[in-house]
């Protein structure tokens, strides 16, 4: 069984026991549970349900495993012959979650 969820503007395919990196959730502590009810598609090996815009009565339960920072991204700007260049780095915060269960009603 798998589902496609829409969580904080990103769509991801999830199955039970998957570990994902999602956008940073500052108000969630490690070990707390999250309910995601915006399922765009749900496939339970018998029937495929497509949401309009989301599947009614279905939700995904996830557990927060931790918080972290991603790899460094280098942002470099340059204009030729103008002696202009800027170099900047950026690391995006993320929250690591584990999918515990997909519930269908």
> What does each of the 105 residues of the chain score in pLDDT, given as a tens digit?
999 999 999 999 999 999 999 999 999 999 999 999 999 999 988 999 999 999 999 999 999 999 999 999 999 999 999 999 999 999 999 999 999 999 998
Query: Which of 73, 62, 71 lies closest to 96 in space, CA to CA?
Result: 62
Note the pTM of the prediction, 2 decimals.
0.82
- Residue 14 carries which DSSP code? E
Phi, psi for residue 70 in degrees, rounded to 5: -80, -175
Tokens coding 60: 């995904």
41 and 49 in contact (C-beta within 8 Å)?
yes
- Who contacts 12 (Cβ-Cβ below 8 Å, separation ≥6)? 4, 5, 20, 22
Counting the structural domains of the chain, the total is 1
Range of the domain at 17: 2-104
- Which two three-digit tokens encode residue 67? 């918080």
């Amino acid at each position: 069984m798998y589902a496609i969820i829409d969580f904080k503007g990103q769509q991801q395919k999830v199955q039970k026991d998957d570990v994902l990196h999602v956008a940073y959730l500052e108000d969630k502590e490690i070990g707390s549970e999250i309910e995601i009810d915006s399922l765009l598609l749900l496939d339970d090996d018998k029937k495929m349900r497509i949401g309009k815009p989301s599947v009614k009565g279905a939700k995904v339960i996830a557990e927060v495993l931790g918080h972290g920072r991603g790899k460094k991204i280098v942002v470099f700007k340059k204009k030729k012959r103008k002696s202009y260049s800027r170099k900047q780095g950026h690391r995006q915060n993320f929250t690591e979650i584990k999918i515990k269960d997909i519930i269908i009603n």
